[in-house]
Amino acid sequence: MSNPWLSADDIAAHLGVTKDTVYVWIAEKAMPAHKVGRLWKFQASEVDEWVRSGSAASRGDGVTRDTA
């Protein structure tokens, strides 16, 4: 069985960041995402590998993060 496609809200919750952060990472950090019509869809396994590779690690980017 294949992994389900996740929405921007789902992947933001998975990573513990805001949806705005997800959109910034797509635009500025090549976060793996697939555009389906107007919506962005994600595979958690692709995003997890991207995070592990260190691509999301740089700080000082002015991105908002969840504090809760």
Which pLDDT does position 58 carry in this prediction? 67
Question: CA 56 to CA 37: how far, in whole Å?
Answer: 25
Which pLDDT does position 65 carry in this prediction? 52
Question: CA 2 to CA 36: how far, in whole Å?
Answer: 18
Q: Is the pTM of this model over 0.85?
A: no
Per-domain residue ranges of the chain = 8-52
Q: Which helix (H) or strand (E) holds 8?
A: helix 8-15
What contacts 44, CB < 8 A, 6 or more positions away?
Answer: 3, 6, 11, 14
The pair of three-digit structure tokens given for residue 31, joined into one six-digit string? 């976060």
- pLDDT confidence tier of residue 68, bands split at 50, 70 and 90: very low
The predicted-structure confidence for 15-61, as pLDDT tens digits, reads as follows 999 999 999 999 999 999 999 999 999 999 999 999 999 988 766 55
Read off φ and ψ for residue 14, nearest 5 degrees: -60, -40
Q: Quick check: 63 pLDDT over 90?
A: no
